[in-house]
Structures are given as C-alpha cells and as structure tokens.
A and B are shown apart, each in its own frame.
Chain A
Amino acid sequence: MSSMIDEDVAADPGADRKPTKRQRQAAKIADAASGSMKAFVVKLVLMGLVDAIALYAVFILALQREWIVLGVIVAVTVFVNWIYFSRRRLPAKYLTPGIIFLSLFQVFVLLYTGYVAFTNYGTGHNGSKEQAVSSLMAASLERVPDSPTYQVTVVDQLGTLGLLVTDPDGDVQLGTMEQPLAEVDGAEIENGKAVAVDGWTTLSFGEVISRTDEITELAIPASDDPNDGALRTPDGSNGYLYTSNLEYDEAAGTMTDLSTGTVYTDIGTGAFVAEDGQELRPGWQIVVGFDNFIRAVTDPRLAGPLVYVTLWTFAFALISVASTFFLGLFLAITFNDLRMRGRKAYRIAMILPYAIPSFLSALVWAGMMNQSFGFINQVLLGGASVPWLTDPFVAKISVLIVNLWLGFPYMFLVCLGALQSIPDDVQEAATVDGASSWNVFRLIKLPLLLVSVAPLLIASFAFNFNNFNVIYMLTNGGPRDTGAPIPVGFTDILISMVYKVAFTGQTRDYGLASAYSIIIFIVVAVISIIAFRRTKSLEEIN
C-alpha cells in the first residue's frame, strides 16, 4: 500500500482545508519516494486472490441460480476493490475485513434468528413446497402392475448417477434424479440394449455391485409432470415404471391418495392436511407469524418449562455473580496484606481453576458428583448417596457450587486489583479522623471498589445468563422433565434449552428454538441498556 499524505492531512480533525495543488504535488512526490513497490505488489496479489475467489463463487452461484446471493457477492467485491484501489477511504481499508465477517456471522445471523422465529422451520418443514411435493411422491412410488421391462445401463458423470434406458420399442433415453428422461442420440447399442453414450462413463459390473445402495435409490422422473411416475431399477440392469400412490394437483393445491381416495389439502399450515387432521410429512417451510411465541406461552406443556427455566436462569445468574463476588472480595481483603508471606503461591493456586478450560472442569466435576461412584459421595461423605446431579433441587445447588469454583478466581483478581488501586491516603485520612477499620472498609473502600467493579459485575451477569458450558457439561440440563414434549430439564437455562430444542431432540424445532432465542435477546438488550446507563461508557466515546 502506498502512503497517502494528502489523505492523512484531510483525515486530521482541525485540517479541513483542501490541500493546494502544489501541496498535493509535493505529497505525491513524497509518496513515490516513500511508498515501496513491494507493498503495492502484495496488495495487487491479495486483491487478485479476492477477485478470483469471488469470480469462482459467482460462477457456482449462477449455476445454482442463486441470484440474490450472487448479487450480494458481486456488490461486496466491487465495493472492496473500490476501497482498496481508491486513494482515499483510508479508514475503510482498515475496517472492511473485520466488518465483512461481523456483518455476516454476527449481525446477519442475529437478524436471521429473528426471521426463523416466525417460521415453522424444523424437522418435517425443511425446504420449499416443490421439494416437499417431490419427496412425498418419491416416497410413495409403487411399481405399475404388468408394466413392461426396460433395459437399463447405469452411467456416471462426475459422481452423478444416471440411467441409460432402452425401452421395449428400442428408443434410447437418458435421465438422472434431477433431469427427467430425454431421448439421446448416438448411444452405443449392443444386442438391442444401449450400453454407453458420450460424456458418461458406463459402470462396470463390479462398480454396480459396490454402489448398489445408491443405484436402488435412483428414481428417474419419466417426465416433468411428477404424476407420470419414475423409472427405478432394483438390480442395475432391468428397470420398471413406478407411479406414485399420490396424485398432485397443482392448481387445487391438493394431494390425493389414489389407494384410499383421501384428499390432503394445503390449508396454509406448511403441510398437506386431510379433513380428519392427518398430515403428510414432510411439509415445507412457511412464515407462521407469532405462532411459535403463542405456542410457547399458551401450550401448558411448553409454558410450564418456559416459566421455570426463565426463573432459574435469572436465579442462576444472580446467585453466581453474588457468590463469586463475595467470595472473591473476601479473599481479596484477606490476601491484600503486605505482611503476609507466600501470597504469590496462594494466588497461583487460586488462579488455576480459572486457567483450566471450563468444559473440562465441568466434566471432571460431573464425574466427582456421580451418585453411585463419584469421589464426593464415596470418599468425602464416606459412602453417602447424595443425588448431586439427579435430584431437581440438589442439582441446582451442585451447578451453583461448580460455578462458584469456576468463577471465584476471576472475582478475586478483579477485587484485588480494585482494592490495590485505592490510594493509601484515603485510608490514612479516615484513620486520622478516627474511623474504625470496619467503617473505613464499609463507607469508603467498598463504595470506591464498587464504582470500578460494577461494570464487570453486570458483564458477569450477562455472561452467566448464557453460561451454556457449565450447565450442559455438568447436568446436561437434567434431570429431564418427562412431562414436557421438548427435551428440557430442571437445571436448563434458556440458552441450553434453545440448543436442546434445536439440535438434540427427536424432532428439531428451529422455529421454537429461535423464538426462545428472541427472549434471551430481549433480556440481554435490557441488561446492556442498564449497563450503559450506569457506566456511561458510551458517552466517553469521542
């Protein structure tokens, strides 16, 4: 990157005057003298790399017809090129790389979570309506009785399997899962059966055997209309026409089960539903408005868990902050005495819980708290059988103990630093005025300490509010609440409930999980407003 003195001058606050032509010339000369060729080459190479990657991405996206994403990529690439090849836009040169990642993986995903909360996204509602229709039809394929046998050859093109089909009249057709059967010319015929065609590799007998699973899964649509059925081959050499038990009527938006005559209608719930309420799965993804939120608070089997999980989340975060802070403060006072020997050794020993990755500590504690074999019951309590992790109430206590262990070193260090930064004169003045040491602490040191520690306490609350690791690794949120339709337990906090609803149950419910995320989102937003009010940190930014 070449140096740009003119910009730096312009970027300086008290220097709004435009540089004169002479000044600009001088700057250019200085620029040429100082800017190194090497830096420019590096910049050129890097930008070339970025553009090449972008070009590749555009190519792939054009093949997939993802026009919106393609447009965004083109816009971003043009913008990046403009920034780095412009002589101005100096701040943007430094900010752009971080902002690109920030906007995609922090800002966009948060907004997208908001969107998902208003959809029925989840197991059984994963894709578009077209995908749902074709997978429903494919799942109910049945061989047409007395249909003719087609001779087929399995062919491969860059990993995509296709069938080369010779129908009883001798016509040759080719199709894949995505491309319906279509006539091909120039196929190589052997004993009345097409065995090879240009652009495709014919699978050998051995390959057919080894890829049997893939081949028997193949269902080549007979035409663009899904009602025409599909060609399947059970053995890789003979094919039969299969038609679906279901008939799709696009105009009416109905699926009719031909064997029973039941009509399933799209009534706007993201699935085909029969009159008796029976649903065809899979359905598809639609926007359901506030349904997830309404379901979360009005369905009694969901509302109960939501209430106790929310209360426990607050209790857990508050008690964790309070217990770690008071233990840390007490220890800081205890060890903040210059007369005491070995303070460094104590400090290192006490920092250790903090230095160990917390997921490991939580797993080790889970082992020690095992009811039947754990160290605490077997050795410390001499063979007791305390249900540390399996009783709803005791498990909460266990979680708090473990979180105290994890968090007190941090508070100790923070309080020690804050105490030591209070000037000695304050103490001396108070002592001269006759204050007792308790009063000095209560009325002078504690308020001073709280001023500097309060923002960290709020941050610590916000952190513990989402302290996933300790809950998930220690109790896995358990003991499990068997009455709830979602996988939730009595020590779950909101974030662990989100994770379990979205990723661990029999059915994944992204919509509901995102709705729960929104609740956390609001709480965190309130906390941060309070935090910023208190600390005035935003006003300090100039």
Chain B
Amino acid sequence: MAEPRPISGTETGLLQGELVEQRAAVKAGGDPELTREVAPKRPFSFGRWFKATGWRHLVGIVVVAFALFPIVFVISSSLNPTGTLTGSNALFSQIGLDAYARILTNPQVPFTTWFGNTILIAGITALLTVFLGALAAYSFSRMRFTGRRFGLISIVVIQMFPQMLAVVAIFLVMSAISDWFPAIGLNTHIGLIMVYLGGALGVNTYLMYGFFNTIPSSIDEAAKIDGAGHARIFFTIILRLVAPILAVVALLSFIFSVNEYVVASVILIDTEKQTLAVGLVKLVSNPRYADWAAFSAGAVIAALPVVLLFLYLQKYIVGGLTAGAVK
C-alpha cells in the first residue's frame, strides 16, 4: 500500500512466482512436496540443514517480527479496556471489547459515519474508475484512429503527476463550483468522487490497455460476424474476459481512495461528511483526545475490510489469470 500505483508489478510478480513454482514442480516430476519425500534419505545434520534452509527461517522470523509487531501492538491495545497509550504497553494484559464499544458508540466521534462514507466514496469511485478506464482501454486496444498514439502517450505522461500536486487549484475550482452548484461542490461526497474520477483515466488506462491487448481480436471478429455490435461485444464479451484486470484496478482504486487524505481533507469540511482517513487523523492529532484504545479499535475495524479484500482478491486474480478464457 505504500505505493499504490506500481502494485500492478506486484500482481504480475505474484503470478509469475506461482507459475514458475508450478513449472518447476512439473519439471521435477510432480508436486514439490512429493519430490522432497522421494529424495533418498540421509541422516539429519543440523549444520547442513542450517546452511541450506535454516538460516532462511532465522531471517524469516526476524522479518516477520518486524512486520507484525505494530500489528500485534494495535490489536493488543484495541483489546485493552482502559484507554491510555501507557496502558497499552503491557501486551494482552487485559482483554475486553470495551474499546470497540466506545469507538462505535461515542457521540463525539462519528466513527460509523466515517466508515460508511469511506466505503461509499471508495466503492463508487472504484466502480466508476473501472468503467471509465475499461471504456478507454477498449478503444485504444481495438480501434485505430487519429490521435490514438498521442492519446496513449499523454495518458502515460499525465499519470506521472499525482492529483495532489494540484490540491490548491482543486480546492479553488471546487469552491467556485460550490458557488454555482452547492450539491456537487465543496463538502459533498459527489464532489470528491468527481475529483477522484479525474485521476481514473491517467492511472489505470495503460494498465488495462496492456491486458486488453492480450485478448485475441479473433474473438471480437467472430462475434462481429455473428452480428454483434461494438457495444454488445464490449459489454458482453470483452468485459468478461478482462475481469481479472478489472478486479485489480478496482482494488487499486479502492485502496487509493481509502488512503487518500490530501484532497479529501480539503473538500470535506463537516465532521459528519469526512472519511476515515480525515476523521481519524484529526481525532488523533487533537491533544485532548487520549483514548488510545478506542482509536486502536477504530484502526482495526478500518483496516479489516481493506486487508481482507487485498488477501482475497490476490488469490482471485492469480486464479483468474491462470484459468483465463483464452489460451
């Protein structure tokens, strides 16, 4: 998540990794686990084991400890019924769900509203981003027209400049829009979603374009001969074949919007309208707010959907790609 854009590399990396492993297993004559058992037994030597794989486990344990310790800390403090930061230091000394109750019901902290806002904004943005991106990628991949090369190059260039560089101008444009159309201006969810959609083409089209190109155009042609129009080909055939990349882009976009603070904090003014990122940051930065346990509980609740989606879709994406409709 630290780097939203290049995740594509991640997924390819994972996919490639899995494929190579499978291939290696096939080459070795079957499943790697099985191969290991077939190997002739030698007396166990700790030194040899350590040199071969033992040190790897040592590294693994150290790194996993580094990776997990903030996560363990936040889970532990979220289960701590007393509120303070100091009280959270003795890990798992007390276990209770009081902090969860506090963050969910505290009338001063509209956590559930923030949560709902975040899911709503990130969800709608993800859906529309995928749709806009897929439309553009389809035309770039399947049609030849003047300005096509220029369009693709512009998109690659534009995606280097994140929207937050223009946050001042975005704020000024949105306040101008508020003067004319308050319903889609500052302090509205629609306004924020519109701003996010501005980034939809730039960031994702090129990624999708590459994937669209891997779907053979013979499929389109077959459908065309059968009398299907371009819209029908797009909506009923191509969109289904590219489902894996749609999932990737939707996930990227969703995570991006959940994490986005700069633009959201400028556009959403009322506490009731804000997203989790804006609300929680303002909550913690308030020196008078000392309920660390409740914040931890909120953080756990907020992180869960994203983490689950990430882990779940990762599998789905790899499965979808390997099982692909076209060989």
Contacts and interface: CB of A to CB of B under 8 A. Distances in A.
For chain B, what secondary structure do more than half of its interface residues adopt (helix, strand, loop), or is it mixed?
Answer: helix
A459 B6 CA distance: 7
A80 interface: no
Interface in A307-344: 324, 330-331, 334-335, 337-342
Contacts of A527: 160
A410 B143 contact: no
B284 interface: yes
Given A359-B280, A417-B17, A517-B166, A537 B139 contact: no
Interface stretch (A258-266, A293-301, A348-356, A482-490): A348-356
Given A98-B136, A337-B56, A502-B167, A418 B13 contact: yes
B312 to A, nearest CB: 10
A413 B168 contact: no
Given A61-B180, A113-B166, A476-B285, A378 B89 contact: yes
A29 to B, nearest CB: 11
Given A357-B277, A367-B85, A538-B156, A109 B303 contact: no
Given A3-B231, A102-B202, A503-B266, A350 B64 contact: yes
Nearest to A421: B16
A470 B4 CA distance: 13
Contact of A354 (B1, B85, B162): B1
Given A112-B172, A420-B17, A469 B143 contact: no
Contacts of B64: 346, 349-350
Contacts of A406: 1-2
Contact of B259 (A121, A334, A469): A469
Given A337-B53, A410-B2, A116 B10 contact: no
B307 A356 contact: yes
Most B-side CB within 10 Å, residue of A106, A330, A358: A106
A34 B227 contact: yes
A12 B224 CA distance: 13
Given A5-B224, A378-B89, A521-B165, A106 B202 contact: yes
A94 to B, nearest CB: 4
Interface stretch (A162-170, A188-196, A368-376, A429-437): A368-376
B42 interface: no
A498 B168 contact: yes
Contacts of A470: 2
A355 to B, nearest CB: 4
Given A90-B143, A339-B52, A403-B2, A357 B259 contact: yes
Given A94-B138, A98-B133, A373-B86, A360 B302 contact: yes
Contacts of A350: 63-64, 67
Given A379-B89, A463-B3, A541-B153, A4 B173 contact: no
B38 to A, nearest CB: 14
B14 A413 contact: yes
Contacts of B323: none
B306 interface: yes
A4 B88 contact: no
A13 B149 CA distance: 14
Contact of B199 (A31, A105, A355, A514): A105
B6 A13 contact: no
A364 interface: yes
Contact of A110 (B133, B161, B230): B161
Contact of B36 (A339, A459, A462): A339
A107 B166 CA distance: 9
B57 interface: yes
For chain A, what secondary structure do more than half of its interface residues adopt (helix, strand, loop), or is it mixed?
Answer: helix
B168 A517 contact: yes
Contact of A355 (B5, B57, B310): B310
Interface in A374-413: 374-375, 378-379, 403, 405-407, 409-410, 413
Contacts of B266: 503
Nearest to B162: A466
Contact of A356 (B1, B32, B167, B170): B1
Given A360-B299, A466-B164, A510-B172, A366 B284 contact: yes
Contact of A116 (B60, B160, B169): B169
B306 A356 contact: yes
A75 interface: no
A238 to B, nearest CB: 34
Interface in A38-66: 39, 57, 60-61, 64, 66
Contact of B284 (A8, A104, A353, A363): A363
B186 interface: no
Given A3-B227, A337-B56, A102 B156 contact: no
B135 A98 contact: yes
Contacts of B135: 94-95, 97-98
B152 interface: yes
B245 interface: no
A473 B161 contact: no
Contacts of B168: 113, 116, 498, 502, 510, 513-514, 517
Interface residues of B, number: 116
B224 A413 contact: no
Nearest to B284: A363
A375 B73 contact: yes
A421 B6 CA distance: 18
Interface in B261-311: 261-262, 265-266, 277, 280-281, 284-285, 292, 295-296, 299, 302-303, 306-307, 310-311
Nearest to B232: A3
A350 B173 CA distance: 42
A39 B259 CA distance: 37
Given A2-B229, A91-B148, A459 B165 contact: no
Contacts of B179: 64
A499 interface: yes
A112 B198 CA distance: 15
B7 interface: yes
Contacts of A495: 164-165, 262
A181 to B, nearest CB: 25
Interface in A1-26: 1-5, 7-8, 11-13
B74 interface: yes
Contacts of A421: 16, 20
B262 A468 contact: yes
A113 B165 CA distance: 8
The 4 closest A-B pairs by CB, nearest first: A3-B229, A417-B13, A105-B198, A94-B139
Given A33-B227, A350-B64, A407-B2, 13 more contacts: A3-B230, A98-B135, A334-B56, A348-B311, A358-B1, A358-B2, A367-B77, A367-B85, A375-B88, A405-B70, A414-B10, A418-B13, A473-B261
30 contacts: A2-B229, A3-B230, A30-B227, A33-B227, A90-B145, A95-B151, A106-B198, A109-B170, A113-B169, A324-B2, A330-B59, A334-B59, A334-B60, A340-B53, A342-B60, A346-B60, A351-B310, A356-B71, A359-B277, A405-B67, A406-B2, A417-B9, A421-B16, A421-B20, A463-B2, A464-B3, A499-B262, A510-B168, A541-B149, A541-B152
